[in-house]
Amino acid sequence: MKKFFKKLTLVMSIIILTLPMFASTVHAEDATDQNLEMNATAGMIYDEHTGQVVYKKNADEKVAIGSITKIITLYLVTKAIKEGKFTEKDMLRPTEAQAEMTQKNELTNVRLDSDKTYSVKDLYAAAWIVSSNSAAMMLADKVAGSQGEFVKLMRKTVKNWGIKGAKLYNVSGLNNSDLEPDMYLGTQEDENKLSADDIGVIVKHVLDEYPEILQTTSKAKLSFPVENETKTYDSLNLLLKGHRDYQEGYEFDGLKTGTTDAAGESFVGTLPIQDTRMVTIVLNAQGEKEDRDKRFRSTQKLVHFLVDNYERKEVIKKDQSITVNNKKYKTYEPVYYWLPKNYNVEDLRYNVSRNELGFTAIHNKKTVKLIATNTAGGYLPYQKTIVKKATTKKTNHKSWWDQIVEFFQHLF
């Protein structure tokens, strides 16, 4: 019994002595998080090149996204142009309904007339830079023949990217109740909804495949033909250089705003920083309704949080060997991670990646992807694009030569 009490006393002493250590660790993590008051329903900041998430809030919650929808829409338009289905020089004419929408201030900011035609190039720029709903609709019609068919294409695309439960009903991001029946799928009450995780995956696919999109989204102004003149419109992205929320040293060059009554004011931003590219997501920024800068201030808080608390550290050198699950791997290139400024890189732990994210290494002449498993924010729920193989059904249809042979066989 005495031995038991001695052991119990020893265990309790160890627990008491180590409690302060655990408490200080938790407190340190909480203190870092307290440095960031994003003031939004959901959000995220992640490294576009690696998929590493530095910070996230309610990232798996599906919320209304408004015109952030157009990131998917314009990705598919870009894809169609790159595949040669039509060109930027092609001229398109809006329908009466699409033209009428541009006469309503709450639904558009670029005027279109049903008796005029507009180039794909101008419509594409208008949809990105000032979020023209009718321009997005005209481009969707060009790609798929109708907006309903285009929405089906959007749904198929995000499903192939591993996104589950996406709610996509129209190509613009407006409330269905603001649209004509042939402009959406579902009911009038339906609204496009995605999570910050979903949007992160979408943006990574889009920028990995078509980084040249940034040449359009980085433009602070749009020149667009209206009646017999060319009018100039300011980009809705107020973080671009020349606009009121621009901050020197934080050179945003994209990507898309989103605004509806249900979505509130949201923004997906991107900027180059420390030899990589970061993506910010702010969904439903909180604040006064009249405050048109709140989503951009929330975005700035994300990037300031990153710069103030983290640094992009080289954690593995080129041609360095590391051991993972008793196997030795050799790296091709230096490996970088965003880590707290006082973090010891020796504390990182690695494993074989379950998807395309991670860094390339070699073991027994075979290449694999490895990934750090104990970073605070984790990674995007990213997976390899699912491509279904075309299957050919076997039929009893005979070739023309077999039919000729069979014909002469029956003659004798």
334 and 317 Cβ atoms separated by less than 8 Å? yes
pLDDT value at position 388? 55
Domains of the chain, start order: 40-310 (3.40.710.10)
Read off the DSSP letter of residue 379.
B
CB neighbour burial string for 53-68, b if at least 16 within 10 angstroms, e if fewer = bbbbbbbeebbbbbbb
pLDDT value at position 235? 97
Strands (E), 236-275: 254-260, 264-273
pLDDT value at position 37? 82
CA neighbor of 120 nearest in space, from 138, 133, 134, 108: 138
- The CA distance from 138 to 133, in Å, is 9
Cβ contacts of 134 within 8 Å, gap of 6 or more: 94, 98, 99, 101, 102, 108, 110, 112
pTM: 0.86
Per-residue pLDDT of the chain (412 residues; tens, 9 = 90+): 545 445 544 444 433 333 333 333 333 333 345 468 889 999 999 999 999 999 999 999 999 999 999 999 999 999 999 999 999 999 999 999 999 999 887 666 799 999 999 999 999 999 999 999 999 999 999 999 999 999 999 999 999 999 999 999 999 999 999 999 999 999 999 999 999 999 999 999 999 999 999 999 999 999 999 988 999 999 999 999 999 999 999 999 999 999 998 899 999 999 999 999 999 999 999 999 889 899 999 999 999 999 999 999 999 999 999 999 999 999 989 999 999 999 999 999 999 998 889 999 999 999 999 999 999 899 999 986 655 544 444 444 445 545 554 544 444 4
pLDDT value at position 350? 96
pLDDT value at position 13? 45
